[in-house]
């Protein structure tokens, strides 16, 4: 029995395996010789990527906009851009229809500001729509189309971050003389792209020559704006200003890319736009939304980075779209001054607190069910939350995946329709969620009313009566795919070995090869150290720790060290030796320094196991 189980930190969940990353020798050598990287930079890079000897590392380590793929490789982008320019010049009413998550919200900001600032369009001709997740469902739903037709009379609809699977609604619009340009990045359904759309722009099409299917929906929207901007008949100076306005939109693209958890590993496009966007967020006079975010998150003391986007700003915007309507996030991003940005920050902050309360309750239920299904040997976990909230399905599913290392889908009744249920799924490396759902649909034709997604996540709708059957088929499909690709489904904590001595210099070395994220995870290290002190903080589930290792004394923060039921009770004993898994962080709020340890450096504790003294 593991130490964690003995002490009651966890019950019948699997103990994570701590594994050291394999370092690709060719990549490590290239990192040092070609790029002049330090030992730790080369090790971390080569632990995540295997770059062929003939391929340059520069686009990955130091990506710029000149490294972006040629957008003309995207199917229909010329047609879509031409139709958009035509609509802008004619002053047509254009409905912008985007998803309710951060990718969709940032896509809306890109399209709105892009049409106005890049293409010179009239803002009064734009009609923005984001579906209400609970009342109108996912994608370009009939309910959303009803509202759009009632509130606006568009001649053109532009979607972002959805639309590929919405042929029936697009055909309905076409029958009323309304054309649709689809921009999306989700997997194409088995029956193909929406035939009634005037253009379907997505890198996931089989005929795509773009070469990077990992970009987010907001990036596809930005590429449409960029291509439309190239079609403008402008003099050289005006075209320069158009390009500058286009590139100013990359701050929105950076947020959407990080928050949507697309790959930041081998996708040079994603790395380039995130780096460029972060620079714009941290410039001397950023948009009001970024100025307010910096002030609220760190009193303006530190720059925004990909961690700020992933864990601070993204969840706040997501929360609004999960629980209510998502336009508050759009209004925050498009705020014209600090006062307005502050107003909308407070709105999304309040919703985020509500989201966290709902998530806490549902997570307990989900983990209990997951423990039962895990004990039964299930490979895929399908969790039924009878009192659930579709707005937090994805978050709760992610928590279950972290705990059990197995593909998970959380399901609950559809708002206002108890005969149907809806679910959000999250996957693990090696398991393609969209393909799992396709396998379920093939095994039971007609059971899934609607489904879609990509490798790491997806959503679906089915009838309540089919729940048990779905749970069985989900488990079977996950197991079949895992066996086919040789995936071991257990939680794994990957580490990059040990550090001789953690330091602020190492923090800066790692920041130089950022951004980190899905597919290029942040560095984690292991350390054998004795507990010199512990203190519960916050809601008493987090602890500040003082550790003494062979290279010195270090302070750390251990978030969610215990469950709420064990709040305040230290999960480890002072004076004992343990092996710690940690990331490097910086404490920006230290009131003073002492000679005993560097209060500015902070170890972020991720896992602990008992070590011999």
- pTM of the entire predicted model: 0.88
Which ranges constitute the DSSP H helices of 24-76? 25-33, 39-46, 58-61
| Residues in contact with 597: Cβ distance below 8 Å, sequence separation at least 6, in sequence order | 546, 552, 553, 554, 555
Q: Is 120 left (phi over 0), alpha (psi -120 to 50) or beta?
A: left
Residue 513 phi, psi (nearest 5): -110, 15
Give the H or E element holding residue 328.
helix 327-333
Q: What spatial distance separates the first Cα and last Cα of the chain, rounded to whole Å?
A: 19
What pLDDT score does 6 carry?
Answer: 39
CA distances, 100 to each of 43, 139, 323, 329 (Å): 38, 9, 10, 9
| Alpha-carbon span 344 to 87, nearest angstrom | 31
What does the buried/exposed string (b/e) look like for 393-416 if buried means 16 or more CB atoms within 10 Å of the residue's CB?
bbbbbbbbbebbbbbbbbbbbbbe
pLDDT, position 360: 83
* Largest pairwise CA distance in the chain: 77
Instruction: Delineate the domains of the chain, giving CATH numbers in brackets.
Output: 3-20+493-610 (2.40.50.140), 65-261 (3.90.1640.30), 378-485 (3.10.310.30)
Cβ–Cβ under 8 Å, residues 220 and 185: yes
C-alpha–C-alpha distance, residues 480 and 485, integer Å: 9
Cα–Cα separations (whole angstroms), residue 264 to 61, 213, 524: 11, 12, 17
Residue 1 has what pLDDT?
33
Whole-number Å distance between alpha carbons of 348 and 330: 11
Strand partners, 128: 96
Angle CA(482)–CA(487)–CA(491) in degrees, nearest 5?
Answer: 115
Taking alpha carbons only, the member of 100, 156, 160 closest to residue 130 is 100
Q: Angle 541-544-546 (CA atoms, 0-180°, nearest 5)?
A: 140
8 Å CB contact between 489 and 459: no
Burial of 82-118, coded b for 16+ CB within 10 Å and e otherwise, reads ebbbebbeeebbbbbbbbbbbbbbbbbbbbbbbbbbb
Can you give the pLDDT at residue 324? 63
Radius of gyration for the chain, computed over Cα atoms and rounded to the nearest angstrom: 24
Residue 124 burial (CB count, 10 A): 8
For the chain, which residues score pLDDT lower than 50? 1-11, 590-599, 613
Q: What is the pLDDT of residue 204?
A: 95
* Residue-wise DSSP of 401-450: HHHH-S-EEEEEEETTEEEEEEEEEE--TT--HHHHHHHHHHHSTT-EEE
> Who contacts 72 (Cβ-Cβ below 8 Å, separation ≥6)?
78, 227
């Amino acid at each position: 029995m593991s130490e964690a189980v003995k002490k009651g930190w966890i019950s019948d969940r699997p103990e994570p395996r701590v594994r050291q990353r394999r370092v690709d020798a060719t990549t490590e050598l290239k990192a040092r010789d070609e790029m002049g990287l330090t030992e730790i930079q080369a090790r971390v890079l080569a632990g995540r990527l295997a770059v062929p000897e003939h391929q340059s590392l520069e686009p990955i380590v130091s990506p710029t906009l000149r490294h972006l793929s040629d957008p003309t490789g995207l199917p229909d982008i010329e047609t879509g851009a031409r139709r958009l320019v035509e609509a802008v010049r004619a002053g047509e009413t254009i409905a912008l229809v985007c998803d309710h998550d951060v990718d969709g919200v940032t896509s809306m900001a890109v399209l709105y500001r892009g049409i106005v600032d890049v293409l010179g369009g009239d803002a009064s001709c734009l009609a923005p729509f984001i579906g209400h997740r609970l009342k109108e469902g996912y994608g370009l739903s009939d309910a959303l189309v009803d509202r759009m037709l009632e509130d606006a009379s568009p001649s053109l609809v532009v979607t972002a971050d959805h639309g590929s699977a919405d042929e029936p609604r697009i055909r309905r619009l076409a029958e009323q003389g309304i054309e649709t340009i689809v921009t999306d990045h989700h997997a194409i359904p088995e029956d193909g792209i929406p035939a009634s759309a005037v253009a379907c722009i997505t890198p996931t099409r089989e005929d795509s020559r773009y070469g990077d299917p990992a970009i987010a929906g907001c990036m596809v929207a930005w590429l449409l704006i960029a291509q439309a901007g190239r079609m403008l008949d402008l003099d050289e100076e005006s075209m320069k200003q158009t390009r500058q306005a286009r590139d100013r939109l990359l701050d929105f693209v950076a947020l959407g890319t990080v928050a949507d958890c697309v790959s930041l590993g081998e996708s040079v496009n994603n790395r380039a736009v995130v780096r460029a966007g972060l620079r714009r967020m941290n410039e001397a006079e950023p948009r009001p939304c970024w100025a307010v975010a910096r002030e609220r998150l760190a009193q303006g003391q530190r720059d925004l980075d990909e961690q700020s986007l992933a864990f601070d700003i993204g969840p706040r915007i997501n929360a609004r779209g999960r629980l209510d309507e998502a336009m508050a996030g759009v209004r925050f991003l498009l705020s014209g001054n600090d006062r307005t940005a502050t107003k909308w920050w407070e709105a999304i902050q309040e919703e985020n607190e509500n989201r966290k309360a709902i998530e806490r309750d549902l997570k307990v239920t989900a983990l209990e069910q997951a423990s039962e299904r895990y004990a039964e040997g299930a490979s895929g976990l399908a969790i039924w939350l009878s009192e659930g909230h579709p707005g937090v399905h994805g978050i709760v599913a992610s928590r279950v995946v972290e705990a059990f290392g197995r593909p998970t889908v959380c399901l609950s009744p559809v708002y206002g329709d108890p005969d149907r249920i809806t679910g959000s799924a999250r996957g693990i490396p090696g398991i393609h969620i969209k393909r799992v759902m396709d396998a379920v649909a093939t095994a039971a034709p007609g059971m899934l009313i609607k489904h879609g997604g990509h490798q790491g996540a997806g959503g679906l709708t089915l009838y309540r009566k089919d729940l048990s059957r779905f749970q069985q088929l989900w488990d079977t499909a996950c197991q079949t795919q895992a066996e086919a690709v040789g995936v071991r489904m257990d939680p794994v904590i990957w580490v990059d070995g040990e550090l001789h001595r953690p330091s602020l210099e190492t923090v800066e070395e790692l920041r130089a090869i950022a951004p980190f994220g899905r597919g290029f995870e942040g560095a984690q290290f292991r350390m054998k150290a004795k507990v010199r002190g512990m203190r519960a903080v916050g809601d008493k589930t987090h602890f500040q720790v003082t550790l003494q290792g062979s290279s010195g004394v270090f302070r750390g923060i251990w978030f969610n060290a215990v469950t709420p039921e064990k709040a305040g009770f230290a999960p480890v004993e002072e004076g004992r030796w343990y092996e710690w898994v940690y990331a490097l962080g910086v404490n920006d709020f230290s009131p003073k320094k002492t000679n005993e340890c560097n209060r500015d450096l902070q170890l972020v504790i991720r896992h602990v196991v008992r070590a011999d003294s």
